[in-house]
Structure 1
Amino acid sequence: MRLLFILGFWLIFSPAYAKTPVLFLNPGYSSESFWGDVDSLLEASAARLDMQVETLHSNRNHFDMIRQASEVAGRAKLPAFVLMVNEKHGGLRMLEAFYLKPVYIQFILNDISIEERQNLLKDPHWRTYLLPAVIPDNQDVGNLTAMALVKKLGEQPAQLVLISGDKTTPASVERTQGALAVFQAQSDVTVEQTVYGQWQEDKAYQQAQVLLQRYPAIKAVWTANDHMAFGVIRALKEKQLTPGKDVLLSTINTSPQVLALRRAGEINALGGGHFLAAGIALANIRQFKDTGEYPQVHISLFRLLEPDTPLFDALEKRDWAGLLDQVLDPTRIPGSL
């Protein structure tokens, strides 16, 4: 509740300060459902907080992401703050570019490891300029979506497969660990295989075709993001199977397409909310800049998304300003973030 009050205060009542320059190194595509939502929420937060945001996209190419970090660090006029994502463990390389530069760095969504952070904080520069990360509990959303899928399956014996993102990105690893922990604890559920769709619809479509041929009795598919779920749905329909009925589906994200599929019942379990991380990071930066204190509070961003709830309705409308009001309102139910 304390965190919600702080965030609500700064988002709603912040006075007109000079705009603070913040740069976001977005590892995804601007047209990609999740990363597009992150951009939209970030822009709404920046407008509310009177901050200036620049976003660079590396289009799922972590080499370009590292190159962009070096180019930004070489600018004559540096941003005051940089938001980074440790996509495919590129975080340390990006940090190198900003060493001894007067730029505060904040990781969001995927952090460097605890050991890496502890080692960096031995250096006086990083003790000053490396801020606490804003990281959702990816293991928790894997757990939540898997439990929802198991509940939908009932007590009937079931074979299932998982399509994870990649083998190295912390979000992918942790979501899969959370889901597997649930599935492997069920006596009636058999996990046949885990594959890696690289977050891509076409890749997951090809994998689903093979998996449906290999395991014709599959009753459920868990996927780590919505694009991969779309690929599974294509493969199911090609085999004259009804998504959400013949084969149950679980996924993560908040794109208009996945929300429509959840409402229609083709997606049986949907988790999301982590797109809020960048907006919350801006609110934390606002407080840090104005008070010198950074909020030290654990944040749980994920929740199951159910049709005909206030959050689901706000996401369908893509009303980012209204969504900020809703999720950051301290009078709302505790634990909503």
Structure 2
Amino acid sequence: MSETNRRDMLKSAVAAVAFAAVGASPSLAAETVNLGVSIPAATHSFMGGINYWANQAKKNLEAQHKDLKITIRTAANATEQANQLQDLSTVNKINALVVFPFESAALTKPVANVKAKGAYVTVVDRGLTDTSAQDAYVAGDNTAFGRIPAEYIVKKLNGKGNVVALRGIPTTLDNERMDAFTAVLKAHPDVKLLDAKYGNWNRDDAFKVTQDFLTRFKEIDAFWAADDDMAFGAMRAINQAGRKDIKLIFGGAGAKDMVKVILDGSDPRIEANVSYSPKFIYDAIKLTAEARLKGEKLPPTTIIPSVLIDKGNAKDFYYPDSPF
């Protein structure tokens, strides 16, 4: 998919949201929209991208709208995020919230408490365990994120081989990705999933999990890592172990360093990836802020497509100046 087509797709999605919002409710906006943004800290490169795009949204949108104030809080863990949400509600007195939950279950009640005090809530990416705690949900296509790698691996292995998987952390989106991945493999019983463990979207944790896989399994044909940071951690362990049996390593989210490998053809084990840009936090903040400034609501769910990245289109997904 070309950059132009992707931009057109996003413009269409935004237009559809705006159209759906018109007339959804009477003008309910406060005189000033006091928007809180709650996101995980930049503990790995994808979250670095999330932090970058959230701050870009604050800078751009506050300059465009005099009646908009955006307060961003970053948390190193779920407990800290829950405390920050309480402060945003009681101290900053927000009337709208865009939240990227650190974990799904642990943040559901804290987000529900913010909503109960009258704030409009948009949840991003990691869904809550109770959707009544939110007004809107914006995310990438996590089903495609799991399905596309599985289909690619099955095809490259000619329908037969051993696979291991590195999951993220326990969240609804991780479940969606894993369910979609395993659903494809179930249709190809000769492709065996030896194990799947959490690597916490972290290079060092993925390195340790991969070491365990390599010790326990003497023949592995393909690795699936549900994040490019974990894929790089797995590669380090595989290279240190000198394992030559692994034919394919498939990460995810289109990190610039991974896309560069695909562009250059510098590692024959890495041929493809799947898109999942952290820029969706910018889109979620923009959509929420502009809807609330008009006293409107978003559709219950907005999904931004995930697509296969390979040699043919990798240049359209390469952003060398991005933090991710």
- Category of TM-score, reference length = shorter chain: 0.7 to 0.9
Structure 1 residue 269 and structure 2 residue 281: aligned?
no
Structure 1 residue 222 and structure 2 residue 238: aligned?
no
Structure 1 residues 301 and 80, CA gap change in structure 2 (3 angstroms): farther
Q: Structure 2 matches for 1:47-62, cutoff 5 A?
A: 47-49=59-61, 50=64, 52-59=69-76, 61-62=77-78
Structure 1 residue 133 and structure 2 residue 137: aligned?
yes
Q: Structure 2 matches for 1:94-109, cutoff 5 A?
A: 94-98=110-114, 100-109=116-125
Structure 1 residues 46 and 307, CA gap change in structure 2 (3 angstroms): farther
Structure 1 residues 9 and 98, CA gap change in structure 2 (3 angstroms): closer
Percent identity over the alignment? 20
1:260 offset after TM fit, Å? Answer: 2.9
Structure 1 residue 165 and structure 2 residue 165: aligned?
no
Alpha-carbon RMSD: 3.0
Q: 1:117 aligns with which of 124, 131, 153?
A: 131
In the alignment, the residues of structure 2 paired with residue 47 and residue 282 of structure 1 have an alpha-carbon distance, to the nearest angstrom, of 12
In the alignment, the residues of structure 2 paired with residue 106 and residue 2 of structure 1 have an alpha-carbon distance, to the nearest angstrom, of 21
In the alignment, the residues of structure 1 paired with residue 139 and residue 277 of structure 2 have an alpha-carbon distance, to the nearest angstrom, of 8
Structure 1 unaligned runs (5+)? 12-17, 121-129, 321-337
Structure 1 residue 283 and structure 2 residue 290: aligned?
no
1:160 offset after TM fit, Å? Answer: 0.9
Amino acid in the other structure paired with 1:291: K
Who is 1:237 aligned against? 239
In the alignment, the residues of structure 1 paired with residue 114 and residue 298 of structure 2 have an alpha-carbon distance, to the nearest angstrom, of 23
Who is 1:312 aligned against? 317
Structure 1 residue 82 and structure 2 residue 82: aligned?
no
1:210 offset after TM fit, Å? Answer: 1.9
Amino acid in the other structure paired with 1:305: I
SS of the equivalent of 2:303 reads coil
Q: Structure 2 matches for 1:194-205, cutoff 5 A?
A: 194-205=196-207
* CA contact 1:109–1:274 (8 Å) conserved in 2: no
Structure 1 residue 23 and structure 2 residue 36: aligned?
yes
Structure 1 residues 216 and 178, CA gap change in structure 2 (3 angstroms): same
1:6 offset after TM fit, Å? Answer: 6.5
Structure 1 residue 40 and structure 2 residue 52: aligned?
yes
* CA contact 1:38–1:275 (8 Å) conserved in 2: yes
Structure 1 residue 7 and structure 2 residue 11: aligned?
no
1:319 offset after TM fit, Å? Answer: 9.7
1:96 offset after TM fit, Å? Answer: 4.5
In the alignment, the residues of structure 1 paired with residue 276 and residue 104 of structure 2 have an alpha-carbon distance, to the nearest angstrom, of 21
The two structures have a TM-score, normalised by structure 2, of: 0.79
In the alignment, the residues of structure 1 paired with residue 295 and residue 9 of structure 2 have an alpha-carbon distance, to the nearest angstrom, of 18
Who is 2:182 aligned against? 180
In the alignment, the residues of structure 1 paired with residue 253 and residue 13 of structure 2 have an alpha-carbon distance, to the nearest angstrom, of 26
In the alignment, the residues of structure 2 paired with residue 137 and residue 2 of structure 1 have an alpha-carbon distance, to the nearest angstrom, of 14
Who is 2:254 aligned against? 254
* CA contact 2:52–2:323 (8 Å) conserved in 1: no
1:107 offset after TM fit, Å? Answer: 0.6
Amino acid in the other structure paired with 1:84: V
The range that moved more, 41-50 or 168-177, is 41-50
In the alignment, the residues of structure 2 paired with residue 159 and residue 98 of structure 1 have an alpha-carbon distance, to the nearest angstrom, of 46
SS of the equivalent of 2:207 reads helix
* CA contact 1:136–1:277 (8 Å) conserved in 2: yes
Amino acid in the other structure paired with 1:56: R
Structure 1 residues 273 and 30, CA gap change in structure 2 (3 angstroms): same
In the alignment, the residues of structure 2 paired with residue 43 and residue 6 of structure 1 have an alpha-carbon distance, to the nearest angstrom, of 22
In the alignment, the residues of structure 2 paired with residue 183 and residue 19 of structure 1 have an alpha-carbon distance, to the nearest angstrom, of 51
How many residues in Structure 1 have an aligned counterpart in Structure 2?
Answer: 294
Structure 1 residues 142 and 271, CA gap change in structure 2 (3 angstroms): same
* CA contact 2:127–2:173 (8 Å) conserved in 1: no
- 1:201-249 Cα distance to aligned partner (Å, 9 max, x none): 222212211211221110101111122211210111112236xx84311
1:175 offset after TM fit, Å? Answer: 0.8
* CA contact 1:62–1:88 (8 Å) conserved in 2: no
Structure 1 residues 146 and 6, CA gap change in structure 2 (3 angstroms): closer
